[in-house]
Amino acid sequence: MKGRVLKSTGSFYKVWFPDGEIVDCKTRGSLRLKDSKSTNPVAVGDWVEVEFKDGLIHSINNVYDRSNYIIRKSVNLSKRTHVLAANIDLALIMVTMSSPRTPYGFIDRMLVTAEAYDIPAILIFNKADIWTESDVLLANEMEDVYHSAGYEVFPMVATDPFRALGVLEHLREKVSVILGQSGSGKSTLINSFNPSLHLRVGDISMVHQQGKHTTTFAEMHEVVKGTFIVDTPGLREFGLTGMNKGELGHYFPEIRSRMNQCRFNNCMHMNEPGCAIEEAMESGKIAPTRYRSYLAMMDGETPTDDY
Ligand SMILES: Nc1nc2c(ncn2[C@@H]2O[C@H](COP(=O)(O)OP(=O)(O)OP(=O)(O)O)[C@@H](O)[C@H]2O)c(=O)[nH]1
Ligand SMILES: [Mg+2]
Ligand SMILES: [Zn+2]
């Protein structure tokens, strides 16, 4: 029977079936060898074929082809990658102005990752209930930046189920993944979508204004019938593994839509004459923070600074 992986705990997998049943399964040994580059040949969001065995542990015999997937570098095995989630329709990028502050560069890395895997993204500006005056100014500035890049922005109070409903409308019948720093309120928002899930939420360290890495594994939840969301751990390192620099401009929508106006068709938008991207930046059509993130990524740096 065909089911979908909700969670992986090393050797066991929680698999969901269209009738709503959830069962524990194991993989057959041969599956593990099929994809040796990845630490997890079966990932959250995968469609799998399960063989039911009376009185024994059910087994996953096959993994169906993925429409897309998000990977990150494995923490302990340097050359191998870890598939965070597969077959995703939408990415929710959780952003906070403070407690903790999400740097522009971090937002841009998450957005580039979503673009690179062909996953549409929306931004959620969370904790609006505790915004100070300067947080409101920053939120307005960020909203302008991301609107002009072509993204939708939703101010949010994740602790308020009524506010959460406004975003839930955009997730219906989809599988979404929620990305963001530890402590930004990802699990809190999912709880507001469906309070009976009781996901663990953490508090914020008073000293460092950072989250405490409360969610430790990616897990998919059915928040309402037919609507799924993958909660993920707050990632410090967000993998852009194997990215081809010549392609990077394609992953910035505001660069992508203008690059055919550059004088040279192999323009890298780094000081070449007649570059439409630099022109658009100078005339205020492309946000300087976005352009700086692009340059940092081209230089192989990790753009996490506040600009
Ligand atoms: N004031 C306020 N606090 C919030 C809001 N959303 C989340 N929080 C608080 O922020 C803290 C962290 O929330 P979590 O949901 O655990 O954050 P997370 O993004 O899941 O963090 P990790 O699992 O560590 O990646 C908790 O104390 C929440 O109550 C909000 O809209 N307003
Ligand atoms: Mg969490
Ligand atoms: Zn150019």
Average pLDDT over residues 72-94: 81
For ligand 1, whether the C-beta of 233 sits within 6 Å is yes
pLDDT at 211 > cutoff 90: no
For ligand 1, whether the C-beta of 186 sits within 6 Å is yes
Q: Minimum-distance ligand to the CA of 158?
A: 1
Q: Minimum-distance ligand to the CA of 275?
A: 3
Distance 164 CA to ligand 1 centre (A): 13
Average pLDDT over residues 113-128: 95
**pLDDT band, very low/low/confident/very high, at 66 (cuts 50, 70, 90):** very high
Average pLDDT over residues 256-264: 97
Residue 57, Cβ density class (10 Å: 0-12 exposed, 13-18 middle, ≥19 buried)? exposed
Q: Are strands 121-126 and 153-155 parallel, antiparallel or unpaired?
A: parallel
Among candidate residues 266, 293, 269, 292, the one with its CA nearest the CA of residue 279: 269
Buried b (16+ CB within 10 A) or exposed e, 209-236: ebbeebbeebbbbbbeeebbbbbbbbbe
Among protein residues, the one whose CA lies closest to atom 30 of ligand 1: 127
Average pLDDT over residues 169-195: 96
Buried b (16+ CB within 10 A) or exposed e, 68-96: ebbbbbbeeeeeebbbbbbbbebbbbbbb
- The pLDDT of residue 114 is 93
Supply 258's token pair. Answer: 């203008």
Distance 101 CA to ligand 1 centre (A): 13
pTM of the model: 0.92
- Residue 145's alpha-carbon distances to 34, 46, 138, 174, 287, in angstroms, are 43, 34, 10, 27, 6
Average pLDDT over residues 109-125: 94
Better pLDDT: 214 or 219: 219
Q: Are 70 and 88 in contact (CB under 8 A)?
A: yes
Q: Minimum-distance ligand to the CA of 211?
A: 1
Distance 202 CA to ligand 1 centre (A): 6
Q: Is the dihedral of CA 286, 290, 295, 297 positive or negative?
A: negative
Q: Are 275 and 263 in contact (CB under 8 A)?
A: yes
What gap in Å lies between CA 17 and CA 5, rounded to an integer?
9
Supply 265's token pair. Answer: 């068709």
Better pLDDT: 224 or 236: 224
